[in-house]
A and B are shown apart, each in its own frame.
Chain A
Amino acid sequence: AQSVTQLDSQVPVFEEAPVELRCNYSSSVSVYLFWYVQYPNQGLQLLLKYLSGSTLVKGINGFEAEFNKSQTSFHLRKPSVHISDTAEYFCAVKLTIKAAGNKLTFGGGTRVLVKP
């Protein structure tokens, strides 16, 4: 079975500073990788995804993530954060095999608090 570890449960960061959210996964087969964002009292929205191709993936709101197969990581970065980036961020994986019940496995989430 696959698993996802987000090493940081909370990340405080000052406005306009860079931020990196770490995500590592474990799987015996190849996976697709995702980052979702959850703003306060809302559902989740997809930030970006890696399915294949270039290992550097650009998403919405200036976020990007890099897939590193050897390190089984998919860290999320933003060079300059805004107050509006305060949210919880979830890394997720899904097996690439087509099978019934193939579903997303989420990490524990990282709360980002952007301070002025």
Chain B
Amino acid sequence: SQTIHQWPATLVQPVGSPLSLECTVEGTSNPNLYWYRQAAGRGLQLLFYSVGIGQISSEVPQNLSASRPQDRQFILSSKKLLLSDSGFYLCAWERGEKLFFGSGTQLSVL
């Protein structure tokens, strides 16, 4: 069966520090992968999606970047975090018309 792993679960980082969140999928190949952010009191915002290795599409201009170095690995990064980067980050993969979400990372930038 397919599973999706996302880590860390929580992260507290100072402003200006780098960020790396990792997401991996097991049990499937060539999945479409997504990074969403859920800011406090707001809905889900699509940040990046990837249809294959090295293929990244950005939905909104921001302080973040994404990479897909391997088929089932999707990484969200930042060189210098801002206060506004705080939020709940969710990775997801797609099968058919359905999204499967990871358990999320709560990022607090202080």
Is B102 part of the contact surface with A, judged by Cβ < 8 Å?
yes
- A101-B51, A103-B49 are contacts. A43–B102 as well, Cβ < 8 Å? yes
Q: Does B101 lie within 8 Å of A45, measured CB to CB?
A: yes
Q: Which of B11-19, B39-47, B63-71, B75-83 contacts A (4 or more CB under 8 A)?
A: B39-47
Interface string of A23-56 (1 = CB under 8 A from B): 0000000001010100001111110010100000
B34 within 8 A of A: yes
Q: Bound complex: CA of A34 vs CA of B97, how far in Å?
A: 9
Residue of B nearest to A109 (CB): B43
CA A44 to CA B90, docked complex, whole Å: 9
Is B108 an interface residue, CB under 8 A from the partner?
no
Interface size for B (C-beta < 8 A) is: 21
Q: Known contacts A100-B51, A101-B51: does B101 contact A44 (CB below 8 Å)?
A: yes
Contact between B97 and A49 (Cβ–Cβ < 8 Å)?
A: yes
Q: For chain B, what secondary structure do more than half of its interface residues adopt (helix, strand, loop), or is it mixed? A: strand
CB contacts under 8 Å to B, within A88-109, are: 90, 94, 100-101, 103-109
Query: A-B contact count, CB below 8 Å?
Result: 52
A-side contacts of B73, CB under 8 Å: none
Instruction: Tell me which of B6, B42, B51 contacts A108 (CB under 8 A).
Output: B42
Contact-size category for A = 20 to 34
Residues of B within 8 A of A94 (CB): 97
Determine how close the nearest CB of chain A comes to the CB of B93; give it in whole angstroms.
11
Residues B53-110 near A (CB distance < 8 A): 57, 90, 92, 97-99, 101-104, 106
The distance in angstroms between the C-alpha atoms of A49 and B98, with both chains bound, is: 9
B43 touches A43 (CB 8 A): no
Residue in B closest to A91 when the chains form the complex, CB atoms = B43
Q: Which residues of A contact B (CB under 8 A)?
A: 6, 32, 34, 36, 41-46, 49, 51, 90, 94, 100-101, 103-109
A-B complex: 5 closest residue pairs judged by Cβ atoms: A43-B101, A108-B43, A106-B44, A44-B101, A109-B43
